[in-house]
Amino acid sequence: MSLSRREFFNRTAGAGLGIALIGSFESLFTAPNALGAPAKVPGYGPLVNDPNGKLALPEGFSYKIVTQAGVTKLDSGEPSPGTHDGTGAFERPGGGTTLVLNHEIRGTSPNNVPHADGLVYDPSANGGCTIVDVDKDGNLVNETVGIAGTSTNCAGGITPWGTWLTCEETEDKVGQNGSTKPHGYVFEVHPFDRAANQNPQPIKCLGRYPHEACCVDPKSGEIYLTEDAKGPFGLLYKWTPPAGYKAAPGVLKTLDATAGALEAMRATDKSGNYVDDLSRVTEVGTTLKTEWIAVPDRDAATVSTRKQSFAKPVTRGQKLEGAWWGDHGAYIVASFGRTADGSAVAHDGQLWFVDPSKQTMELRLRFGINPNYGQDGAFDGPDNITVSPWGGVIMAEDGEGVQHLIGVNDKGEAYQIARNQIDENEFTGPVFSPDKRTLFANAQTPGIMYAITGPWQPNPKF
């Protein structure tokens, strides 16, 4: 059996999300006895083409369209906004799920987030979030505006106190691209309390830079934040709450702009050598020691945070993207690395696990370079991530060519869950309903939220 598009790694003594990496799915499907008899490979089986040309899923799975840009309607009667991205899911009172959906709109789009009264940060910006209610079967009940007048709302993170942190992936200052207010902040959106979302204010203590995603340690209140940037590459940040901080909805935006400590990660190897670039780590199971270095000016008044002079050199990564809390730590995604862009070593994706108790980060998964991006079956460019209630994680592919929703079981074996049949645009925002029945995910373009159901199970094999 050929594994030309994926490298196998032997599993070591790592715990949790393991460190084996499965190879070409085309090879696995066409060589059923390659792994021994009886043949069993990870996943729910080959993807079945959708006669409607939208979403290919394994046999036994189905989908519903929840929202679609320009097609479904907000409660105000306006069309649903587009450019779907990061998504958080919450248990809806009375049953079903309430989702907070980011719209990564910078500038204008055919389907902007409407400027609902009292919910606008910057009248010149057209991004934001909508709040989507669905019933227990994944049918749309209603969609409303949660926040508007923000820019490039990429990903974010769920808080332990039941709200959504939406992240702006920009660092526009007043006057740049027509902005009347500075951007590059995190905002809090309450999924149920509309009054709490009035007069949106940035959480300035979390810094101003091209935010991608964040996740919250429910024990310490620390927040881990990724930065998707270049010139130089972005950083992994951690915010530590100030003394006396008590987490609750709306508290973060009331804190002083310098409250708590915002720090950037510095990693060293087992010999104590500084690691400047996460792409240098190529062996799955490698563990780095982490320390955190204060950001000199978190509001980046004159110099972007990643370009500032730190007390010690900090560690960078190309395309630091998804973040999600689970298994008592933070899962962090590096989407890809390219030597032509400045990465030390090329790769098509890394999944890291940051362990706060040990002050370490471990490489849990690595995709080698995919030599045939147009062919189905191989993965590259993981982006958004969620920890699955069925075990392992789900990642949204934002790579070259064919795009998938990727499952990774707790042995570290990757498998396909869905394929975008509309075009080669990215998946975003995978997240399960609180009752574990439905996986919500988006096709960023043309802007569709799907509700996917089927025979979910731990560590599926077929």
pLDDT < 50 positions in the chain: 1-37
Which is nearest to 224 in space by CA: 315, 152, 316, 331? 331
Express each pLDDT in 30-42 by its tens digit: 333 333 445 789 9
Q: How far apart are CA 209 and CA 226, in angstroms?
A: 10
Which is nearest to 182 in space by CA: 103, 83, 299? 299
Report the amino acid identity of residue 419: R
Domain extents in the chain: 25-244+260-453
What per-residue confidence (pLDDT) applies to 35?
Answer: 39
Q: How far apart are CA 63 and CA 55, in angstroms?
A: 8
DSSP 189-201: E-SS-GGGGSS--
User: Which stretches within 284-438 are classed as H helix?
Assistant: none
Report DSSP state, residue 382.
E
What per-residue confidence (pLDDT) applies to 38?
Answer: 58
Structure tokens at 57: 């899923």
What per-residue confidence (pLDDT) applies to 128?
Answer: 98
What per-residue confidence (pLDDT) applies to 29?
Answer: 30
Burial class (CB in 10 A: 0-12, 13-18, 19+), 98: buried
Give the right CATH number for 25-244+260-453 from 3.20.20.210, 2.120.10.30, 3.40.50.920, 3.50.50.60: 2.120.10.30
pTM of the entire predicted model: 0.92
Q: What's the Cα-to-Cα distance from 434 to each of 89, 93, 116, 313, 390, rounded to whole Å?
A: 7, 12, 28, 41, 12
What per-residue confidence (pLDDT) applies to 378?
Answer: 81
Confirm if 114 and 78 have CB atoms less than 8 A apart: yes
DSSP helix/strand/coil, 30 = helix
Residues 6+ apart with CB under 8 A from 450: 55, 63, 64, 65, 66, 418, 440, 441, 442, 443
